[in-house]
A and B are shown apart, each in its own frame.
Chain A
Amino acid sequence: MRISRRALFFLSVALVFVLMIPPTPSEFRWLNLAMAGLALFWATLLVIEDLSNRRRDSDLPKGDAPSDMPSAG
């Protein structure tokens, strides 16, 4: 399965927030967790969007790709 670049981008943003937990002062660590969760949420949705677009593509007859399909970036 190939993951879109945007999903990978948000996965890396989530990773940065997680990696920044140890140096973050304890009173702000909830923010790292909340933001990592949000980034992971978007990464998951982008993966789902990518998969559903690909399924839609494969269901269509060849040469009949929809013109309004959002780019996976």
Chain B
Amino acid sequence: MGLTVVLIIAVALAFDFFNGFHDAANSIATVVSTRVLSPRQAVAWAAFFNFAAFLIFGTAVAATIAKDVVDPAVFDNAVIFAGLVGAIAWDVITWYAGLPTSSSHALVGGMAGAAVAKAGWSSLIATGLQKIVVFIVLSPLIGLLLGFTIMVSVYWLFHRNEKVDRLNRGFRRMQLVSAAAFSLGHGANDAQKTMGIILALLIANKQVSVDSGVPLWVVLSAHTAIGLGTLFGGWRIVHTMGSKITKLTPASGMSAELAAASTLFFTAHAGIPVSTTHTITGAIVGVGTTQRLSAVRWGVAGRVVWAWVLTIPGAFIVSYFAFLALKGIG
């Protein structure tokens, strides 16, 4: 394996690390805001389940990224590096602008932009891209509907229970399970995107065949990177996703996390890369809607819609020019 390949793998793992660093708030928001766990305990809990996801889920999302977005024959070191540069640059730009961007969509847009710069539009695989674009819209809405449904079911089941303190204690304990489930879904979805990039790189460098699965060392390193990112990033984040959108209680936090986790389990199983941030945002909006529409801060939800529209084209353009610059340099 050449030095260039090792360096690109390091960049991909750094992307994964910062994904965990940035998204840790999604996993720990509710358990911290309801004081079930301290921030440090919560990030350790989330990081563990980010890592443990590799024991449960396959690598269908990784295969989609490596083989279903761009024709694998087009991938080379420059395309993959330019794609990563575009995705990282777009993440930084949108972070600065305060948009809740999706690293996953940025990665897809980045890879597509670099591939088009190298080999034209025919290098893109329409069916794979179509699946991803459709679920950009569907996954937050699925989270929303499941969040609303679980929250209403909880109300129906427990509204006659008068021992509120005991009930809240139960929900707080259940939040440990729901936060673990969400972290599993996050680990499965987001670590697999990095695995997909590394798999594409290994295929391009003929380290593995096109038909091969993801090597175990790639699986373990991607899950380790995202787990470490969560461990190092989460405790810094004070303003949590939960409190930004609507006020959460132990019951609503648990419902939102279970809804988002169910959506992520489905998409990970089906091999569809989705945004974990957008999915939990949809689920939190769903539980907020059980109160009334005005209980939801629609500004945050509206910014998600902007991120839908902007992320793939934005990362595409940055990567397109990053590839041309790389080609010009060398």
Contacts and interface: CB of A to CB of B under 8 A. Distances in A.
Contacts of A5: 293
Contacts, number: 52
B145 interface: yes
Interface size class of B (residues with CB under 8 A): 20 to 34
Interface string B258-302: 000000000000100000000000000000010111110000000
A24 B133 CA distance: 9
A27 B41 CA distance: 41
Nearest to B148: A42
B90 to A, nearest CB: 24
A13 interface: yes
A38 B137 contact: no
> DSSP majority for the B interface?
helix
Interface size class of A (residues with CB under 8 A): 20 to 34
Interface string A1-38: 00001100100010011001001110010011001001
Interface of A: 5-6, 9, 13, 16-17, 20, 23-25, 28, 31-32, 35, 38-39, 42, 70-73
Interface string B137-173: 1100110110011001000000000000000000000
Nearest to B293: A73
A24 B141 CA distance: 14
Given A25-B127, A73-B294, A17 B289 contact: no
